[in-house]
A and B are shown apart, each in its own frame.
Chain A
């Protein structure tokens, strides 16, 4: 172990005692250095960006942003050890995607175990560790209640009922809400899966609309349809989108 480089760890938990316990457990591991601590999700997003730690101890239930939302915003996949006291949904998802997690309270032996696993995954020849987490973050407790957008150091939280439509623009999504447009790097098919299918509909290859914001369906030409939203914005509707819309409305 002495030959390998020191790993830098970030501890994220809103309870001081919980962070303190992890600090104590880490004392015996000379190859790990504590790079920082955070007591909320927003701070964690910033610190992960600023410090790019090798390891993140991440609590799931936190103020501001949950652990999974932190991962979504930072794109961080490898080197994450979740900690949670009790979260049935999250634990089911962890099991499903073979993601390691620590159940509070955890023993030193269990902690060392998780650490050892994280070390092997961090080694240069490690297998792709992010696959399970990728799926986990993409499929996290649907349906989505709010959309998070990271804009440099800022995080915007857009409640889902404010979203009127989502437009695919290259590698980005343009999320239209309350007269503003937020850009987020995500595929439209991925967010389509996360949205509540009774409230949002993919009406076009590049458009998802909120049914609550739909005001009228217009027919600008033969065999062509468009949705007029409450804000006045017009969104094209494809033929298959029109069929889906007709069965719903």
Chain B
């Protein structure tokens, strides 16, 4: 669709510009002594109005030569040729309107130009069409810049969605295969425990899949998911792993993106508890205060084992996810002391509407 005809506001400005051009032509005719004011205006304004709709065709001329593949000799030739052709039409229209329109409305031509007058009129038509071409050119360039920006924004959104999807359905193969190995070991001496672990594993994956489909889940649902996760990890690591989850009822009702807490626990075990002789306790504290949901996870780490960015990738992922979803309203901070790692997430409180 033509960008000017499609937009009433643009069309209005466009027509005003053409009327101004009409006044300009009338003034030119008056100043060069070719016609009187009234005749010149009656002659030029209707022609410019009609011609404005012919001139929109320059949009398609500009589009046929996109900036990126434009060679200047070709462009100049095309623009000059088309303008010349248009000026011929403009001359024909002028002659016809002057004689026919004048005859019908006034009984005589509006201006009855001399030959030099018609040459001047012709030149003005050429210049106007050329001007229209240049104006449309700017418009096309402007449009393509906007389209590129829009495409870029769209592709960013798509890439982000794909990444989120990937994050959500990501199944940690280490966790899966090690858990299956533990179940295999348990079947030999504690079949009941093996069965429980199988159920926990199934529940964990089932919930992960179900929750990952949703934009937001309640912290309570996430904590239930983490319960299965921790039950499995406790079987694997035995007494080394203790967990202390303190989640207030108000906090449990808050909405947050799925798989926000679980990766934190996974990190706490992988980089913390597992590396510490004798293990330790992961403390989770979730509460609502001042309109914000605060989630804190604290776990011991091995003092001598300090790969500075071992937590890095996973935490950066969470930070980016929260930044995408909440912008500056979400905060995530972490801190490592010699024997402890602490991470805090602060989110704006968001509750299920009508629930």
Binding site for B on A (CB under 8 A): 14-18, 20-21, 24, 40, 61, 63-64, 85-86, 103-106, 145, 157
Contacts and interface: CB of A to CB of B under 8 A. Distances in A.
Contacts of B186: 17
Contacts of B235: 17
A85 B182 CA distance: 11
Interface stretch (B83-91, B134-142, B149-157, B173-181): B173-181
A86 B181 contact: no
B173 A24 contact: no
B174 A17 contact: no
A238 B275 CA distance: 43
B188 A85 contact: no
Nearest to B180: A105
Contacts of A63: 274-276, 302, 305
Given A17-B181, A64-B302, A85-B181, 9 more contacts: A15-B181, A20-B188, A20-B189, A40-B277, A63-B302, A64-B275, A104-B178, A104-B181, A105-B184
Given A85-B181, A104-B181, A105-B183, A61 B174 contact: yes
Contacts of A61: 174
The 8 closest A-B pairs by CB, nearest first: A21-B185, A85-B177, A104-B181, A17-B185, A105-B181, A86-B173, A105-B184, A17-B182
A143 to B, nearest CB: 14
Contacts of A17: 181-182, 185-186, 235-236
Interface of B: 173-174, 176-178, 180-186, 188-189, 235-238, 274-277, 302, 304-305, 307
B177 A14 contact: no
B274 to A, nearest CB: 6
B178 to A, nearest CB: 4
B180 A15 contact: no
Please indicate which of the listed interface residues A15, A17, A63, A64 has the most CB atoms of chain B within 10 Å of its own CB: A17
Contact of A15 (B176, B236, B277): B236
Contact of A64 (B236, B238, B305): B305
B185 A20 contact: yes
Given A63-B275, A64-B275, A24 B188 contact: yes
Nearest to A16: B238
Given A61-B174, A145-B307, A104 B180 contact: yes
Contacts of A14: 274
Contacts of A64: 275, 302, 305
Given A18-B185, A64-B275, A64-B305, A105 B237 contact: no
Contacts of B275: 63-64
A20 B193 CA distance: 14
B305 A85 contact: no
Nearest to B188: A24
Contacts of B277: 40
27 contacts: A14-B274, A15-B181, A15-B237, A16-B238, A17-B181, A17-B236, A18-B178, A18-B185, A20-B188, A20-B189, A21-B181, A21-B184, A21-B188, A24-B185, A40-B277, A61-B174, A63-B275, A63-B302, A63-B305, A64-B305, A85-B174, A86-B177, A104-B177, A104-B180, A105-B181, A145-B307, A157-B304
